[in-house]
Amino acid sequence: MNTPAASAGAARRLPRTLALRLGVPAVAVVLWQLAARAHGSVFFPTPSRIVEHGFHLWFSGPAERAFLTDAAVRDLLPSLGRVLAGFALAAAGGIVLGLALGRSRTVYALCDPVLQFARAVPRPRWCPSSSWSSTSARRCSWPPSSSAPSGPY
């Protein structure tokens, strides 16, 4: 139940919550920067050096290629393609399976034990795979296929 008092309390907590969510990672990066600079090791670079190197490695190309370098085109674009292909497979498979589960009691009865077992398996256990596309497809198809039989909320 959303009361004016609850809304006012949430509004008072918002600055503190934002400060913690943004401040803790910022402090961690500053501490990392200071520690790495004090250590001076090649194997422990500063965050600013990592960002600078990443920018020059991937985003210092010509404007007609959206500032992407040859390394970015070679390394990033195929990876993004595999992620998008996995998401597309997941969306198609998850929606089709979810609709079948929601429309047919027989399909639901046949698939429910497997879905309940798979739901109990922790997500990191689904990761080891040789194909990024299939890993993305498994991760992304789970929500539509597992919640469709429940119906709209």
DSSP of 13-56: HHHHHHHHHHHHHHHHHHHHHHHHHHH--TTS--HHHHHHHHHH
Which of 153, 148, 152, 151 shows the shortest CA–CA distance to 111? 148
Give the global pTM.
0.50
Kindly report, residue by residue over 31-59, the tens digit of the pLDDT.
999 999 999 888 999 999 999 998 888 88
Kindly report, residue by residue over 81-130, the tens digit of the pLDDT.
999 999 999 899 989 999 999 999 999 999 999 888 888 887 767 665 54
